Amino acid sequence: MFKSIILAAGKGTRMKSETPKVLHTIFNKTLLGYVLDAVNDTGLADENFVIVGHQAEKVAEFVKDNYDNAKTILQEPQLGTGHAVSMALPFLENYDGEIVILCGDTPLIQSETIREFVEYHKNSQSDITVMSAIFDEPANYGRIIRSANDKVLAIIEEKDATPEQKAIKEINAGIYCINWSKVKRAFSELNTNNAQGEYYLTDIIKWGNNNGLSVNGYVLKDNEEIFGINSKLNLAQASKMLNRKVVNKHMANGVTIVDPDTTWISPETSIEADTIIYPSCYIEGKNTIGRNCAIGPFAHLRGDVVLEDNVKIGNFVEVKKTRVKSHTNACHLTYLGDSEIGSNVNIGAGTITANYNPLSKVKSKTVIEDNVKIGSNSVLVAPVEIKEGANVGALSVITKNIPSWALAITRAPIRIVEDWVKRKM
C-alpha cells in the first residue's frame, strides 16, 4: 500500500480561463479526476493528499464531492513544488511507508504504470525513485543526471542546465516514489538557489545522494502518459491521444469503427465485439454497449447508458442515463434520457422523453416496456410508463400511463378545406 501527494495548486495562466487548470475536462471528466482514478485503480492507494492553491475552494469542493479517500491541503503562498509537498508534513508525521508524488495535470497516466513504478521502487530497494522518459527533443524538461553505474545523481532543470546537460535525452517525468520516513527531512532542508528562486521537488534527488540514500530511475514505456496540460492546445492534444488509444483498443477487441478520426469514445465505456460505430459519434462518460449493436452516424451517448445486444442507436440520437434492452431501435433524431426501455421496441423519428421539469428542477423517469411502438414526433412527459405492447400514435404528447396493448393518440383530427389554396391565390 502507499499514499499519494498530487500537486494541483498551479494557476494555469496559459489556459486563459476562470476554471482552475486541473478542473478542465476530457470527456466531461476533470484532469485531476483522471489522476486520482489512476492512483486509486492501482488498488494500492489508501489515502491521497491533493495540494491546492489557485482557486483552492473549487478544487477542494470537487475532491470532497467525488473522493472519500482524498483530502486537500492548502499551499499558500506557492513557493515551488518542493514547498508544495512539504505542506503534507503535518498530516504524515508518523507515517512510515511509500509516498507517490504526481502532478494533477497529467490525465494520461495509467494505473498499470503507477503499479509497475511502485513495484520497481520496492524491488530495487530504493529510497527515492524518479520516473523518467527518453525524448529525442527534450526541450523544456528537467534532465536526469546518472552515474557510471546508472544511479540517478540529480535532476537539472532546463533553466539551470549547461549546454552539455541540455543534450541529455532522458528527462524527468515528474512522478516520484519515496520512502517517507527516510526522505521527509529533505523538505525542511531544500533551498532556493536556482533560476526560479523556488523550492524544487527535483532537489530531493541530490539531497538523497548526499545523505547516502538509494536513488534510482524508472524509465517510462509510453511517453504520452506524462503529457502535461498547460494550455487549451495541450488539452486538445491530450484528448486526441487518449481517444486514439481507446479507439484502437476497441478495434483490437473486435469492434468495427468505420472512421476512427471522427469517433470519440471515453475510456470508461465498454463495447462488445461485432458492434459497429459509424462516423461522427461522441460517447462520453461510463457506458456499457453489448454485441451486434449499431451506433450512429452522429449519435451522442452522454453517460450512464447501457445498451444490450442488437440495439440500434441511429443518426442524431442522443441518449443519457438510459438502459435499452435487446433488439430495440431508435433510428433518427431522438432524445432518450432517464429511461428504461424494453426489448423489441421501436422509437419513431423525433421522439423525446421530456424528463426535466424546469420549475421544480426535478428529472423524472420514462419506462417503456417490451414490444412497444412509439410513433414519430411523440413527446413522452415523465414520469410516465408505456406498458407492454402499447402503441403511441405519431405526434402524440403522452402525459399519463398507457396500459398494455392499447393505442394512445393525442393529435387533433385532420381538417381538409377544399380549394383553400385556389381561393387564396
Q: Which residues are catalytic?
A: 332
Do residues 247 and 229 touch, judged by C-beta distance below 8 A? no
Residues 226 and 238: beta-carbon distance below 8 Å? no
CA-based radius of gyration for the chain: 28
CA distances 29 to 135, 219, 266, 267, Å, are: 28, 28, 9, 10
Dihedral over Cα of 27, 32, 38, 44: its sign? negative
Of 249, 256, 288, the closest CA to residue 273 belongs to 256
Please, what is the end-to-end C-alpha distance for the chain in angstroms?
A: 84
Q: How far apart are CA 307 and CA 410, in angstroms?
A: 30
SS (H, E, C) 40-98: HCCCCEEEEEEEECCCHHHHHHHHHHHCCCEEEEECCCCCCHHHHHHCCHHHCCCCCCE
Within 13 Å and on the Cβ side, how many CA atoms surround 150?
5
In whole angstroms, give the CA distance from residue 9 to residue 81: 9
* 253 and 270 Cβ atoms separated by less than 8 Å: no
Report the alpha-carbon distance of residue 146 to residue 208 in Å, rounded. 14
User: What is 184-228 written as a DSSP string?
Assistant: GGGGGT----STT-S--TTHHHHHHHHTT--EEEEE-S-GGGGPP
Widest pairwise Cα distance in the chain: 102
- Picking from 177, 168, 162, the residue whose alpha carbon sits closest to that of residue 133 is 168
For cell 435487446, name the residue: 326
SS3 295: strand
The span from the CA of 35 to the CA of 22, in Å, is 10
* Contact present, 102 and 228 (Cβ < 8 Å): no
